[in-house]
Amino acid sequence: MSGSMGEVKRWFGARTGLELERMGPDHVRQAIEGAMRDAGCHDEAAFVARLQREPSLFDDLANRLTVGETYFFRDAWHYALIAEQVLPKVAARQAAGGPGLRAWSAGCASGEEIYSLAILLADEGMLPTAQLWATDLSAQALALSGRGRYREWSLRAEEAKRARRHMRDVGGVYDLDARIKDAVRFSRLNLASDPPPAAELDVILCRNVLIYFAQDAVPEVVERLAGALVDGGWLLTGPSDPPLHAVGGLEAIVTQQGVVYQRRSTPAPPPRPRSRRSDAPGPRKALPPEPEPEITGVRRLADLDPLGALTEIERIEARGDADEDHRIMHATLLIALDRHEEAEAVLDRTLASSPRAVRPTTRSCVRGRSRSPSRSRRGPSRSPRRASAPAWGTRRSWSPRLRSAACNPTSTRSACRAPPCTCWA
C-alpha cells in the first residue's frame, strides 16, 4: 500500500471540493488506509476505480474522513442573534400570513447544531410552523443525527441545560423528545455539487465547514449558500472559516463575538463582460498555479493556536502586506482573545482604508455611551424592543466601535441592525 495516497486524495477532493490535508495528514492517511484495507484493495489506482463504481465504498471513505464532533448550543451567541434579530421578523411575517422560520444546517455532523435551533424554537413557541433542514456528506453522521441520542459530552456547554429539558435520560444516554427530532428533515448532500435542500431560507448554519474546502471551491459553495437565503437572511459560519464579505452578495457584520453575514437586499452589480478573445491562432502558455494566500494558512492556524495566528497576522501587517481580509481576521482574533480595545483600533484602520469592508460609523450609535469597563460588563440597559430577548443571550455588550461598525449609516431605526445601538432605544 503506497504511503502518500495522492491519487485517492485528488479524486476525493475533486468529487467533494474538500482539501484533505486540512483535516490533518495522519487522520487522512489512517482513514484511506482503513477504507482500502476493509475493501481488500492494495493499489491506489484500483481503489479509485472502485470508488467510482461502488457507492458503498465512497460512503465508507466519506464517513471515515468527515464525521465531525460538536455539542449543543456551541457558539451560543449565534442562537442569541437568531432569537433577537430573526425570530421577531419571522413572527411579524407569520402575523401577515407568511411562513414560519426556514433554516438549514449545512454540514450538520451529529445533529446537535440543528437540534439546538429546534429547541430554541420550541421554547419560543415557534417550532410547529418552522421548517428545518440538515444535510451532511456522511451517511454515518446522518444516521447518528436521526437517532437523536447523545452522551453527556454533547451537553458540556453551560447553555446546554436548555437541551436537557427536552431530553429523557436513559442510563446516561439522553434521548431527545420526539417532537424535536420530528421537526428536522435530514438528507445527504454534497456542498460542492448539489443544490440546497430549500430556498428562501432565513438562516443557514455552516459552521467550521468551509475551512476544509479548497480555496478555489469556496466561492462557488458560498454563492450557492447565499442564493438560498431570503433577502436579509443570515449565514452563520465558524470562527476559523474564511471571510466571505466579498462573495455571494453577503455583507460582513463584525460583532464583539465574531463575524456574521447577511444577504444584501439589493443585488450586487453585474459582472463586467469578458473581453472577446482574438480569433488569430497563437501559442498559449500555461499559467503557473497561484500560490496559496498567507491568510489561508492563518485561518487554519487560528483553529489550533489563536495566539500563533495573531502573531502571524501582526507580522504580515508590520511589513505592510495586510489587506481588508487580514484586518478583519486580525479583529476577529482579538475579539476571541477578549482584547476588545485593540480590536476597535484595528476596525478603525479598516474603516479608514476600506470603508466598505464593514458597516461605517454613525454618530447616533456612540453618542451618550460609556466606554467604562464596568458598564461593558453589565451590558446595555434593555430597551422595550429588546425586552423579550431570552436571558441566555449574549452576556457582554458590544463596545461602541464594534457596535457602530455593524450599524447602517442611515441611523434609522429600521435600518440599524446592531441591537445595543441607540437607534433601538
Look up the CATH number of the domain holding residue 194: 3.40.50.150
Residues 109 and 182 in one domain: yes
Q: Between 279 and 204, name the one with better pLDDT.
A: 204
Q: Between 60 and 286, name the one with better pLDDT.
A: 60
Cβ-based burial of 267 (10 A; exposed 0-12, middle 13-18, buried ≥19) = exposed
For 94, other C-beta atoms within 10 Å of its C-beta total 14
Name the phi and psi angles at 357, rounded to 5: -65, -40
Question: Which of 263, 279, 298 corresponds to the end of one domain?
Answer: 263
Count of domains forming the chain? 2
Residues 122 and 197 in one domain: yes
Cβ-based burial of 287 (10 A; exposed 0-12, middle 13-18, buried ≥19) = exposed
Contact 135, 188 (CB under 8 A): yes
Name the phi and psi angles at 388, rounded to 5: -90, 5
Residue 246: pLDDT band (50, 70, 90) is low
Using DSSP's 3-state secondary structure scheme, residue 345 falls into helix
Residues 84 and 223 in one domain: yes
Question: Which of 237, 263, 289 corresponds to the end of one domain?
Answer: 263
Residue 277: partners with Cβ closer than 8 Å, 6 or more residues away: none
Residue 157 identity (one-letter amino acid): A
Residues 62 and 82 in one domain: no
Strand residue runs (E) in 177-333: 184-188, 201-206, 229-237, 250-254, 259-263
Residue 195 identity (one-letter amino acid): P
Q: What is the CA radius of gyration of the chain?
A: 23
DSSP letter at 70? Answer: -
For residue 343, being part of any structural domain is answered with no
Name the phi and psi angles at 20, rounded to 5: -65, -30
For residue 269, being part of any structural domain is answered with no
Residues 51 and 88 in one domain: no
User: Is pLDDT above 80 for 359?
Assistant: no
User: Is pLDDT above 70 for 268?
Assistant: no
Residue 269: pLDDT band (50, 70, 90) is low
Residue 322: pLDDT band (50, 70, 90) is confident
Residues 26 and 161 in one domain: no
Boundaries of domain holding 23: 6-66
Residue that the C-alpha cell 452576556 belongs to: 395
β-bridge mates for residue 136, sequence order: 188
For residue 218, being part of any structural domain is answered with yes
Tell me how long the chain is: 425
Residues 123 and 194 in one domain: yes
pLDDT at res. 226 = 96
For residue 160, being part of any structural domain is answered with yes
Question: Which of 203, 235, 263 corresponds to the end of one domain?
Answer: 263
pLDDT at res. 272 = 54
User: Is pLDDT above 70 for 395?
Assistant: no
Residue 5: partners with Cβ closer than 8 Å, 6 or more residues away: 28, 29, 32, 33, 44
Residues 178 and 250 in one domain: yes
Q: Return the closest-CA partner of residue 334 out of 297, 304, 307, 354.
A: 307
User: Is pLDDT above 60 for 366?
Assistant: no
Residues 56 and 132 in one domain: no
Q: Return the closest-CA partner of residue 236 out of 104, 88, 69.
A: 104
For residue 136, being part of any structural domain is answered with yes
β-bridge mates for residue 135, sequence order: 106, 187
Residues 58 and 120 in one domain: no
Q: In whole angstroms, what is the distance from residue 247 CA to residue 249 CA?
A: 6
For residue 305, being part of any structural domain is answered with no
Q: Are strands 259-263 and 229-237 parallel, antiparallel or unpaired?
A: antiparallel
Residues 51 and 196 in one domain: no
pLDDT at res. 270 = 54
For residue 380, being part of any structural domain is answered with no
For residue 354, being part of any structural domain is answered with no
pLDDT at res. 19 = 85
pLDDT at res. 192 = 94
Q: In whole angstroms, what is the distance from residue 295 CA to residue 186 CA?
A: 34
pLDDT at res. 86 = 98
Residue 273: pLDDT band (50, 70, 90) is low
Residue 308, C-alpha cell as written in the block: 500563533
Residues 46 and 85 in one domain: no
* Helix ranges, 354-386 (H): 363-366, 373-378
For 162, other C-beta atoms within 10 Å of its C-beta total 21
